[in-house]
Chain A
Amino acid sequence: GQNIDQPTEMTATEGAIVQINCTYQTSGFNGLFWYQQHAGEAPTFLSYNVLDGLEEKGRFSSFLSRSKGYSYLLLKELQMKDSASYLCAVRPGNTDKLIFGTGTRLQVFP
């Protein structure tokens, strides 16, 4: 079966750092994606990992450990506009579909 787990909600303070974890169990693995989704809007692509290690892109970084079935998204220097849902998605082997987790709703407070 396919299973992706991430926390339902997190809170953080403006200017702080927050780490959103994601664990997965899928039939095959061909990449992990993080998307950001503001309420009522479409998901927008943030990052992609297919090899173990850290990918950094500005204030956002994403880490992958394939042996542990684990990823995290790290957001630095949080801003109020970062309040959104963060979706972890895995592309299983031999398909181009994405399997999404339920999303982590992040609230950033002043």
Chain B
Amino acid sequence: DTGVSQDPRHKITKRGQNVTFRCDPISEHNRLYWYRQTLGQGPEFLTYFQNEAQLEKSRLLSDRFSAERPKGSFSTLEIQRTEQGDSAMYLCASSFTGGRTYNEQFFGPGTRLTVL
């Protein structure tokens, strides 16, 4: 399977703990995006990268959230001191800007986070 992969698929943690998620984009995709989705809502933008550079970060993202893409391939999203309000599906997507003009984003299966 050459699609976007995310690990883990599910994570249950206690409030106050730190969690880290990984995303592996489609090979050769230079852009990588993180979104968060809660039940009954559409995905909400968090941040995106072009290669290893973080180009934009949502103002809604608190300082507890950090994302990296150190070698321009996989990315990690870390949440420190988790809160119950962080419970959501965390979606990763990737795209290739050198292809079709509309630069569609391909989504991974997501990591479902539950904070107890």
Contact = CB atoms under 8 A, between A and B. Distances in A.
Nearest to A45: B104
Contact of A42 (B56, B101, B107): B107
Interface in A28-47: 31, 33, 35, 41-45
Chain B interface size band reads 20 to 34
Chain A interface size band reads 20 to 34
Interface in A81-110: 87, 89, 95-103
B56 A97 contact: yes
Contacts of B91: 42-43
Contacts, number: 57
B41 interface: yes
Given A42-B109, A45-B104, A45-B106, 11 more contacts: A33-B104, A33-B105, A42-B107, A42-B110, A48-B104, A87-B43, A96-B33, A97-B56, A98-B105, A99-B45, A100-B44
10 contacts: A42-B91, A50-B102, A89-B42, A96-B31, A96-B56, A97-B45, A97-B56, A98-B45, A98-B105, A100-B44
Interface of B: 4, 31, 33, 35, 40-45, 48, 55-56, 91, 95, 97, 101-110
